[in-house]
Amino acid sequence: MQYLPRLRRSVGHQQQNRPDDVLRVKTALNQIGHYDVGKYGLGTGADETLVSAIRQYQRQRGLKADGQMHPGGPTERDIESALQDPKLDIATRTPTYRCIICGAPHAGLHGRICPQCWGKLNS
Ligand SMILES: [Zn+2]
């Protein structure tokens, strides 16, 4: 099971920050408790909050804290493995979740994102 839609381009401090990539990173960080959806929302802008969240995650995991994520890079790979941690609540598969992007109820097949939004992120 893959939980982190792969980045197309780099995200973070002084990177390309494609809106769809930014949303991928925010969604992934939110699912592992490193990005607060309630307070900041999951917009497509790469603001200082996102860069800080990436840096904080990198520091905590012993990665280079440059606030950047690159396709196939160490931070993306580390987040991918964190998302697959069986202790994470998204892996418990309760019948209904609310999609953190559109709010639709869904079965948690792709973590907290509904299949429709997952499809958009992967298209
Ligand atoms: Zn959705």
- The one-digit pLDDT tens for each residue of the chain (123 residues) are 456 678 999 999 999 999 999 989 988 888 888 887 765 567 788 888 899 999 999 999 999 999 999 999 999 999 988 888 777 765 444 456 788 898 888 877 788 888 889 999 988
CA of 65 to the centre of ligand 1 (A): 31
Angle at 40 between CA 19 and CA 96, to 5 degrees: 85
Q: Which helix (H) or strand (E) holds 105?
A: strand 105-106
Unique residue bearing structure tokens 């099971």: 1
Instruction: Mark residue 93 as left, alpha or beta (left: phi above 0; alpha: psi -120 to 50; beta: remaining).
Output: left
Cα of 117 from ligand 1 centre, angstroms: 4
What distance in angstroms lies between residue 113's CA and the mean position of ligand 1's atoms? 6
Give residue 50 CA to ligand 1 midpoint distance, Å: 20
Distance 8 CA to ligand 1 centre (A): 20
- The token duo for 72 is 């196939």
pTM, rounded to two decimals: 0.71
pLDDT at 92: 44
What CA–CA distance (Å, rounded) separates 119 from 26? 16
Whole-number Å distance, alpha carbon 31 to ligand 1 midpoint, is 14
Residue 34, pLDDT score: 86
d(CA 64, ligand 1 centre) in Å: 32
69 has which bridge partners?
A: 11
CA-nearest of 110, 1, 3, 13 to 70 is 13
Q: What does the domain layout of the chain look like in residue ranges?
A: 11-122
- CA of 28 from ligand 1 middle (Å) equals 14
